[in-house]
Amino acid sequence: MKRVLGLDIGDRRIGVAVSDALGITVRGLFTLERSNIKSDTQKIIDTARENECSAIVIGLPLNLSGQDSVQTEKVREFAQKLENKLRSNAMSDIKVELYDERFSTVIAERLMDETGLKKSKRKEATDQQAAMVILDDWLRINIINTTIPKT
């Protein structure tokens, strides 16, 4: 298995995390300050290429009821533009997958509370942590689905 990139997409920042090649551990890479869709998607593609990723998992911010919100539509649009750019860069072998991220930011904030990091430095770290939570959850679900025999 190749590495997988995890993204927590917000209006101002994108938290970026990556798995190890075995899909066991996750680490935060950086928080991207958003500028425009063209440069944001290019930075993500460059990062996926540098880390030899086979997939990009994007957290999908659904409402608690499971319904789409305004932010959900923004993330879907970002994912579509990223997929289009991957195809135009002859990198269609990298799949883009949306993953339900409900509670990922809450979990990330609680983890940050445990670190004792000052609130002024938390925003950037929380975005990375949320990307790590999304990716870690996605990996666990996918490992379970590929290792448990279907009866």
Closest by Cα among 116, 112, 140, 142 to 125: 112
The 10s digit of each residue's pLDDT in 36-92 is: 999 999 999 999 999 999 999 999 998 777 788 899 999 999 999 999 999 988 878
- Which one has a higher pLDDT value, 120 or 51? 51
Proportion of the chain above pLDDT 70, given as a percent:
79
Count of CB atoms situated within 10 Å of the CB of 98? 15
Return the half-sphere exposure (C-beta side, CA atoms, 13 A cut-off) of residue 79: 22
Mean pLDDT of the chain: 85
Neighbour order of strands in the sheet with 13-19: 26-33, 13-19, 3-9, 53-60, 95-100
Whichever domain contains 141, its CATH number is 3.30.420.140
Assess whether pLDDT exceeds 70 at residue 130: yes
Q: How many domains does the chain have?
A: 1
Q: Which domain holds residue 46?
A: 3-147
Q: How confident is the model at residue 144 (pLDDT cuts 50, 70, 90)?
A: low
φ and ψ at residue 106, rounded to 5 degrees: -65, -45
Q: What is the pTM (predicted TM-score) of this model?
A: 0.84
Closest by Cα among 94, 89, 102 to 133: 102
Q: How far apart are CA 64 and CA 75, in angstroms?
A: 16
